[in-house]
């Protein structure tokens, strides 16, 4: 065979290889939902709580839930949370709170997130809930190995550490302890069959209005966005150690998918450039203020001898903070859009492709 024909054959083979690769990539990218997760199991705090605490310790009052649900839904927001947008992206119904038996459906997973929850063991008695039911079609399908496990916690550990100890103590002992316990929890879930883990880092705690307004940054302790720099550095330290431990777990749990989700970057970008994205001052929360006096959202208080109600602002969609601690639906939606496409994930893949 002459060199010309051999060269043409090689070129033809290479062309076929390239075409096959292109078709494979196109088929993956073109799929609306390459991964099918039959269920989502969420463990976290109030950023993901869809009704556990509300059902157990007393229902939330209006104006919580007003934007999307038209009534309180157990969520500490005016509407949907990031976990709700995750479910929607995966073509699943909203995940029911484990401790809320009313109209709950656990066939597509369960949400164990609870307001105030920490990674570390907390003092206090656990309050259970009676789940007796004859409606078997509402029970879990027990496809634990095929489910998506969402872990969204850590903020309260930092919060309580700041309040009860010191920034230095949080860095020295609390963060390492919290990371170790979170890693142990992931390994336990793995032993029970879990294989795909979606792990949120913690947001910029130093930007929460509940901190910034109650205890404004001291001289030299304000960052470029006006947040409390030392508190955000704690969050960054936590996130660094979390990312390192996730990498270690990947080397240990070889057949698991561990996705590190950079919530911090998404939230800080929104807060530091609020006006660019159509939001008002990020330190002005929508619900719970009467003039310059903080009144708990949805509750009444006596201000200057007059009973007033902690009502909602006129347009929650323009606010990032809902009640000083939690985000509005508009902010949650914005953050969800930033993470679901994979740009802030490690590895950087859309949520619909994390099983590949």
Which active-site residues does the annotation give?
46, 323, 326
* Torsion of the alpha carbons at 21, 23, 26 and 30, rounded to the nearest 10: -150
How far apart, in Å, are the Cα atoms of 129 and each of 57, 102, 123? 11, 11, 19
Candidates 269, 286, 272, 356; CA nearest to 320 is: 286
In sequence order, the β-bridge partners of residue 293 are: 290
CB 38 within 8 A of CB 108: yes
Do the bridges between strand 289-290 and strand 306-309 make them parallel or antiparallel, or are there none, so unpaired?
A: unpaired
The gap from C-alpha 253 to its chain's centroid, in whole angstroms, comes to: 23
Residue 26, helix vs strand vs coil? helix
Neighbours of 271 (CB within 10 A): 24
Cα 110 from Cα 119, distance rounded (Å)? 18
Using a 10 angstrom Cβ sphere, with 0-12 exposed, 13-18 middle and 19 or more buried, the burial of residue 144 is middle
Residues with Cβ within 8 Å of 246's Cβ and at least 6 positions away in sequence, in order, are: 199, 258, 260, 346
Residues making up the chain, counted from first to last: 356
């Amino acid at each position: 065979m002459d060199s010309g024909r051999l060269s043409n054959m090689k070129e033809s083979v290479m062309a076929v290889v390239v075409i096959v690769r292109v078709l494979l990539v196109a088929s993956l990218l073109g799929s609306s939902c390459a991964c099918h997760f039959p269920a989502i199991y969420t463990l976290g705090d109030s950023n993901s709580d869809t009704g556990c605490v509300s059902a157990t310790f007393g229902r939330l009052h209006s104006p919580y839930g007003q934007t999307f649900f038209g009534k309180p839904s157990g969520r500490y927001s005016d509407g949907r949370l990031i976990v709700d947008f995750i479910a929607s992206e995966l073509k699943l119904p909203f995940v029911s709170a484990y401790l809320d038996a009313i109209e709950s459906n656990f066939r597509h997973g369960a949400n164990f997130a609870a307001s105030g929850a920490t990674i570390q063991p907390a003092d206090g008695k656990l309050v259970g809930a009676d789940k007796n039911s004859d409606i078997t079609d509402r029970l879990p399908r027990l496809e634990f190995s095929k489910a998506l496990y969402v872990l969204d916690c850590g903020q309260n550990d930092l919060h309580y550490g700041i309040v009860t100890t010191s920034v230095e103590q949080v860095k020295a002992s609390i963060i390492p302890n919290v990371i170790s316990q979170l890693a142990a929890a992931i390994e336990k879930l793995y032993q029970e069959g879990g294989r795909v883990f979606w792990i949120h880092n913690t947001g910029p705690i130093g930007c929460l209005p509940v901190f910034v307004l109650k205890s404004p940054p001291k001289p030299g302790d304000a960052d470029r966005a006006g947040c409390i720099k030392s508190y955000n550095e704690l969050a960054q330290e936590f996130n660094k150690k979390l990312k390192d431990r996730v990498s270690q777990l990947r080397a240990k749990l070889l057949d698991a998918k561990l996705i590190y989700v950079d919530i911090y970057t998404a939230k800080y970008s929104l807060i530091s450039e609020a006006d660019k994205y159509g939001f008002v001052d990020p330190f002005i929360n929508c619900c719970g203020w009467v003039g310059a006096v903080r009144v708990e959202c949805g509750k009444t208080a006596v201000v200057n001898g007059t009973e007033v109600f902690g009502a909602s602002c006129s347009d929650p969609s323009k606010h990032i903070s809902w009640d000083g601690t939690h985000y509005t639906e508009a902010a949650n939606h914005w953050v969800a859009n930033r993470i679901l496409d994979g740009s802030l994930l490690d590895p950087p893949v859309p949520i619909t492709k994390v099983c590949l």
